[in-house]
Amino acid sequence: MIQNEDVQLGRSQKGQVTQKLKFYQEEHRRLTVLFNITRNISTELKLDKLLYILMDEVKKALKADRCTVFILDKEKNELWSKVAHGEAEIKFDRHLGIAGYVATTGDILNIPDAYSDQRFNRDIDKQTGYHTKNMLTFPMRNKRGEIIGVFQVLNKYEGAFTKEDEQLLGAISTISATQIENAQLYEEQKKTFDSFIETLASTIDARDPLTAGHSKRIAKYADCIAQEMNILPNRREIIRYAALLHDYGKIAIRDAVLTKRGRLTVEEYSHVKEHPAYTQSILEKINFSGDYTSIPFIAGAHHEKMDGTGYPKGLIGEDIPIESRILAVADVFDALTSRRHYRNRMELEKVIGFLEENSGTHFDHNCINAFKKVKLDRILLILEDDSADFIDHADLSLLGQYNILELLDRQNGKARDAEDRLLSMTFNKYYNKTYANVSY
C-alpha cells in the first residue's frame, strides 16, 4: 500500500513538476535573452551603434538570418535604417512596403511564405539578390504607445516564426524603443549644442566682413592637422569647439577698431590683442564638464607663440597646449589664404614659406609638418567651402592622391612630367579661381 501510494504520488507529482519545469525553462530562456539584450544596449547612446547591436541581438534571439530595425522619421515622413556594418542608409516613404504597412497600421505581420503573400514586394529580393522565405514584422512603440519604428526579421532557420517569437520580439521592441528614444534625445541635444556654437561663431565672424566663415574654416584645418598628428577623437572634438569659439572674445572689441581698414594705432592694436583673453574669460563662465573644461584655456591661447613672444600670456613652447599650437597654424593659414576684394589669395608657396620661416619661433614644427601632409582635396574643400559645387569630382580624386608638400615639390620648378603639371594646374585652377574668369 505504502509503495503503491508512493508510486501514484510520484507519478502525479512528476507530471506537475515536469510541466512546471518546462514553463520555468522557457521563461528562463526568454528572460535571459531580454536581460542580455537590455544589458548590451543600455550603455549605447550612439544611435548608429545601438541599431547595429539590436539587429545583431534580435537575429540571434529569434534564430533568424537577418534583422533590420527601421526608425520612423515623422518630420520627413520616412522610414530609415542602417545597413549592418556599412555606412549606407536605407530610406523610403513611411507608407511603403511591409515595413511601411506595419508602421502605419501598427499590425504585426507574420508571413510564413513571403512569395505566396500579396503584400511582399519581390523587387527588393531581385535588387539585393537575397531570397526571402519567411518574415516577421513588428511595430516598435514607445511608452506613450506611439509607433517609433519597425522590427523586421527575415528567414528563421527552422520553419516559420511562431507566436512565441512574436511575444519575444514584442518585449524586445518595448525595451528597444526606450533606449532608441534616449539615444535620439541625446543626439538631438548634442546636435543643437553643436549648431548653436557654429551659429555663434559665424555671427562673431560676420561682424567683420573680412572674417566671414573664418571660425568654421579654422575648425576644419585644425582637424586635418590633428588627424595627421594622430590626436584621439575626443581631443579632436575639443579642438573643434575651441576653434569655433576662439574669436568669441571679439564681441568685447569696439567695432570701430575691429573693422577698421588701414593701420591701427598703438592703442587700437593693443585693444584688438585683448580678444583671446576675453575669449578665455567668457568661456570660463560656461559650465563645461570633463575634458571640455580645457576649452577656454585652449581657445584663449591661439595667439601664443613657441618662443614666448605671443599674447595674452607669453607662454613658451610646451606650456602652450598642443591644441592651441594647432589652432595657431590653422588660424594664420586661413588669414593668409583668404581672398580680399582687391586681390586674390597669397600664392600657396608663399603661404607655406611664411609658415616654415616662423616654424619653431611662432609655430610648433610638428604642427607645420603635419599640416604639409594634409591631402590637397581636403585643403581645397575648406579653402573653397563657399563654392565647393564648382569642383569637379575627377579633379578632387586626383588631388586626393597628393599632399601640400608633394604639390609644392612638383610646382617648385621640379615638374617631371605631364602628371606633375596637371596636378599643379588642377589645384591652381580652383585656388586662383581661374575657372570662373574672375579677376581680383
Taking a C-beta distance cutoff of 8 angstroms, is the pair 268, 260 a contact?
Answer: yes
Q: Give the nearer residue to a second copy in terms of CB position, either 160 or 210.
A: 210
Task: Determine, following the binding rule CB under 8 A, whether residue 434 of this chain makes contact with a second copy.
Answer: no
Q: How many CB atoms lie within 10 A of CB 55?
A: 22
Q: Which residues contact 371 (CB under 8 A, 6 or more apart)?
A: 221, 224, 225, 228, 329, 330, 333, 355, 404
Is the dihedral angle over the CA atoms 276, 278, 281, 286 positive or is it negative? negative
Cβ of residue 186: shortest distance to a second copy, in angstroms? 6
In DSSP terms, 139 is beta-bridged to: 150
Tell me whether residue 186 or residue 435 sits nearer to a second copy (CB atom): 186
Shortest Cβ 146–a second copy spacing (Å): 13
Query: For residues 54 and 136, what is the distance between their CA atoms, to the nearest angstrom?
Result: 15
Segment 119 to 148, residues that bind a second copy, using CB under 8 A: 143
Supply the minimum distance, in Å, between the C-beta of residue 192 and a second copy: 6
How many CB atoms are located within 10 Å of the residue 373 CB?
15
CB of 401 to a second copy, least distance (A): 35
User: Quick one: cell of 209?
Assistant: 566682413
Q: Which residues pair with 153 in a beta bridge?
A: 67, 136
Nearest to 333 by CA among 360, 358, 352: 352
The beta strands (E) that lie in 230-291 are given as none
Q: Is 10 in the site for a second copy (CB under 8 A)?
A: yes
Segment 160 to 199, residues that bind a second copy, using CB under 8 A = 174-175, 178-179, 181-182, 185-186, 188-199
Q: Is 366 in the site for a second copy (CB under 8 A)?
A: no
Tell which one of 1, 2, 5, 39 touches a second copy (CB under 8 A): 39
Q: Is 35 in the site for a second copy (CB under 8 A)?
A: yes
Indicate the residue among 12 and 397 with the shorter CB distance to a second copy: 12
Calpha distance 352→408 (Å, rounded): 9
Nearest approach in angstroms of CB 246 to a second copy is 15
Nearest to a second copy of 79, 245 (CB atom): 245
Strand order in the sheet with 135-141: 89-93, 78-82, 64-73, 147-156, 135-141, 109-111
Taking the complex as a whole, the smallest distance from the CB of residue 10 to a second copy amounts, in Å, to: 4
**CA-derived radius of gyration, the chain:** 31
Q: Which of 108, 277, 282, 405 binds a second copy (CB under 8 A)?
A: 282
Name the minimum Å distance from CB 27 to a second copy: 6
Stretch 240-259: interaction string toward a second copy, x if CB under 8 A: --------x--xx-xxx---
Minimum separation from the CB atom of position 234 to a second copy (A) = 13
C-beta contacts of 399-406 below 8 A and 24+ residues apart: 399/375, 399/423, 399/426, 399/427, 400/375, 400/376, 401/375, 402/375, 402/376, 403/372, 403/373, 403/374, 403/375, 403/376, 404/348, 404/352, 404/371, 404/372, 404/373, 404/374, 404/376, 404/379, 405/372, 405/373
Q: Which three cell numbers stand for residue 283?
A: 568661456
Among 83, 90, 124, 206, binds a second copy (CB under 8 A): 206
For a second copy, the closer CB: 48 or 107: 48
Question: How many residues bind to a second copy according to rule CB under 8 A?
Answer: 66
- Min separation Cβ 289 and a second copy, Å: 5
Supply 266's cell numbers. Answer: 598703438
Binding residues for a second copy, rule: CB under 8 A, are: 3, 6-7, 10-11, 13-14, 17-18, 20-21, 24-25, 27-28, 31-32, 34-35, 38-39, 42-43, 45, 143, 174-175, 178-179, 181-182, 185-186, 188-200, 202-204, 206-207, 248, 251-252, 254-256, 282-283, 285-290, 292
